[in-house]
Amino acid sequence: MSGRLPEDALDRLIDAAAEARLRAYAPYSHFFVGAALLLQDGAIVTGANVENASYGLTICAERTAIFAAIAAGHRRFRMMAVVTAAPTLTSPCGACRQVIREFSPDLTILLASTDGRRRAVSLAELLPESFGPESLLSGD
């Protein structure tokens, strides 16, 4: 799956995302998503999607995990797992891809399903020719 992490570490990350998925708040779409972010120090920060009756205020599991990690003072991420029960493996939406890019342009994302399927992809595969902080003009 990934030459960088042993299989038991990948399993632990997927299990954390699956557990977070159970805490998702998705009364409108009924699409429950869990994410788990592996930090450089080996700790895991999780997130779940949280919907809102004002749909635009909904936040995805991936951004929930990243924002929680940032708020706790973490800036270095090693891998993210995203778990859904969808019939196909589900990758992060465009907004999440851009937020991931801000903090971890080389991140590996482990897409997983509740039925055991999984596939690792790079953010570069999901967001080619991406825009990041270095793209901004400096100065005036």
Question: Does pLDDT of 140 surpass 80?
Answer: no
The answer to whether residue 136 sits within a structural domain is no
Could you give the number of structural domains in the chain?
1
> Which residue range forms the structural domain that includes residue 17?
7-123
Share of residues in the chain with pLDDT > 90 (%) = 89
Tokens representing residue 129 in the block: 């020719």
88 in a domain, yes or no? yes
Q: Are 48 and 20 in contact (CB under 8 A)?
A: yes
In 10 A of CB 96, how many CB atoms?
25
62 is catalytic: yes
Whether 39 is covered by a domain: the verdict is: yes
DSSP bridge pairs for 121 = 109
What digits encode the pLDDT tens for the residues 55-88? 999 999 999 999 999 999 999 999 999 999 999 9
Structural domain includes residue 53: yes
Q: Which of 7, 62, 102, 129 is catalytic?
A: 62
Give alpha helix (H) positions in 1-140: 7-21, 61-71, 94-103, 123-126
Measured in Å, how far apart are the chain's first and last C-alpha atoms? 46
What pLDDT, in 10s, does the model give residues 14-25? 999 999 999 999
The structure's pTM equals 0.92
Q: In this structure, what CATH number is given to the domain that contains residue 60?
A: 3.40.140.10
